[in-house]
């Protein structure tokens, strides 16, 4: 097994020199070409099946990758269950009763382990699954850099501190993403992930009842599913227009003051990001290109490589 890991690492370094390698000092899209050639197709098939069974799963798998990478890098720490030595990220405010898709990742891991034991990391599975989920919903593709290894610990406190809140104002959003190396344009592009998926009433109640920069008919349409008290877990689509498909309708909604979350509408509220939102609302191709580029960058956040971390056999626990 150590030989296989070494081969993967050597292949990663070798293909880095090729013209087609991803411009990252550590990851390459060809990492498993010889060590686990079926991995990519296994993951894609499982993701497409999961999304066909429940379309919301596409957004959930995308979000898992995002919440993983924003906390100490893309290391699959988000998948770890609590142990006697650490309290993991699943119980952090941004994740508890909210993150989903863990069973889909478990299923993928089982299939990949059967095909090639101890080769493909949970962190790489998350990265590929996020890309394939976007494709399954009609969105863009990108070459995922591979060769990450899995963390051996997780931190609820770090998750609480690092994951942006849906209640943030624009300046706080810009800062939260800047802390991870993203510029404002990339922050807006990544926010476009909210063109699919749903949010809980608890997170947008304040907006639909108290804020004025919201289109009145839109607010009225959401209120029956989100009463002023109770119903905290009731769900509403983040994108009311095409709530499943990965397109640019999210930005069109913002221009029309139909952002569901406070943080969404902050992107188009007379501030520095209005121009970018308008550009994406007018050009799905521009949004797709910028989103794919930003996702590739996000996947390169502080990966564990070489001899750091491990390749977990079970994504929920350290070997």
Measuring CA to CA, which residue among 192, 180, 194 is closest to residue 297?
180
Flag whether 196 is marked binding. no
Tokens 């590929």, located at residue: 128
Flag whether 77 is marked binding. yes
Contact 270, 213 (CB under 8 A): no
Instruction: List C-alpha distances in Å: 39 to 21, 32, 76, 98, 315.
Output: 19, 7, 17, 28, 16
Residues 6+ apart with CB under 8 A from 49: none
CA-to-CA distance for 178 and 168, rounded, in angstroms? 14
Flag whether 75 is marked binding. yes
CA-to-CA distance for 112 and 121, rounded, in angstroms? 10
Flag whether 194 is marked binding. yes
Q: Which residues of 145-176 are buried (b: 16+ CB within 10 A; e: fewer)?
A: bbbbbbbbebbbeebbebbbbbebebeebbeb
67 is catalytic: yes
Backbone angles phi and psi of 149, in degrees to 5: -120, 170
Flag whether 150 is marked binding. no
Flag whether 54 is marked binding. no
Flag whether 169 is marked binding. no
The burial of 309, by beta-carbon neighbours within 10 Å (0-12 exposed, 13-18 middle, 19 or more buried), is given as buried
Measuring CA to CA, which residue among 121, 194, 177, 133 is closest to residue 294?
177
Question: What tokens does 59 get?
Answer: 């957004």
198: three-class secondary structure by DSSP: strand
CA-to-CA distance for 109 and 278, rounded, in angstroms? 40
Beta strands in 238-300 (DSSP E): none
Flag whether 242 is marked binding. yes
CA-to-CA distance for 187 and 290, rounded, in angstroms? 10
Measuring CA to CA, which residue among 223, 203, 196 is closest to residue 291?
196
Catalytic pick among 9, 65, 67, 262: 67
Flag whether 88 is marked binding. no
Flag whether 89 is marked binding. yes
Residues designated as active site: 67
Instruction: List residues forming the annotated binding site for Ca(2+).
Output: 68, 71, 73, 75, 77, 89, 195, 239, 242, 247
Residues annotated within the binding site are 68, 71, 73, 75, 77, 89, 164, 194-195, 239, 242, 247
Binding residues for substrate: 164
Binding residues for heme b: 194
């Amino acid at each position: 097994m150590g030989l296989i890991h070494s081969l993967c690492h050597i292949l990663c370094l070798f293909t880095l020199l090729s013209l087609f390698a991803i411009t990252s000092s550590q990851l390459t899209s060809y990492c498993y070409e010889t060590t686990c050639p079926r991995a990519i197709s296994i993951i894609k098939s499982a993701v497409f099946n999961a999304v066909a069974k429940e379309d919301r799963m596409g957004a959930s798998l995308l979000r898992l990758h995002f919440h993983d990478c924003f906390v100490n890098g893309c290391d699959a720490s988000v998948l770890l269950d609590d142990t006697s030595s650490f309290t993991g990220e699943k119980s952090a405010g941004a994740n508890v009763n909210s993150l989903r898709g863990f069973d889909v990742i478990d299923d993928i891991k089982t299939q990949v382990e059967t095909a090639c034991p101890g080769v493909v990391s949970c962190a790489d599975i998350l990265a590929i699954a996020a890309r394939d989920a976007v494709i399954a919903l009609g969105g863009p593709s990108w070459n995922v850099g591979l060769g990450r290894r899995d963390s051996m610990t997780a931190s609820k406190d770090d998750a609480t501190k690092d994951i942006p809140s849906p209640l943030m104002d624009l300046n706080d959003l810009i800062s939260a993403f800047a802390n991870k190396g993203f510029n404002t344009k990339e922050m807006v592009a990544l926010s476009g992930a909210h063109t699919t998926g749903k949010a809980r009433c608890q997170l947008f109640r304040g907006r639909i009842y108290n804020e004025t920069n919201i289109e009145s008919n839109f607010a009225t349409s959401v209120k029956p599913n989100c009463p002023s008290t109770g119903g905290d877990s009731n769900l509403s689509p983040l994108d009311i227009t095409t709530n499943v498909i990965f397109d640019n309708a999210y930005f069109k909604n913002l221009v029309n003051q139909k952002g569901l979350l406070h943080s969404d509408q902050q992107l188009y509220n007379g501030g520095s990001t209005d121009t970018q939102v308008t550009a994406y609302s007018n050009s799905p191709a521009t949004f797709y290109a910028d989103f794919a580029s930003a996702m590739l960058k996000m996947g390169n956040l502080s990966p564990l490589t070489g001899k750091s971390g491990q390749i977990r056999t079970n994504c929920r626990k350290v070997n």
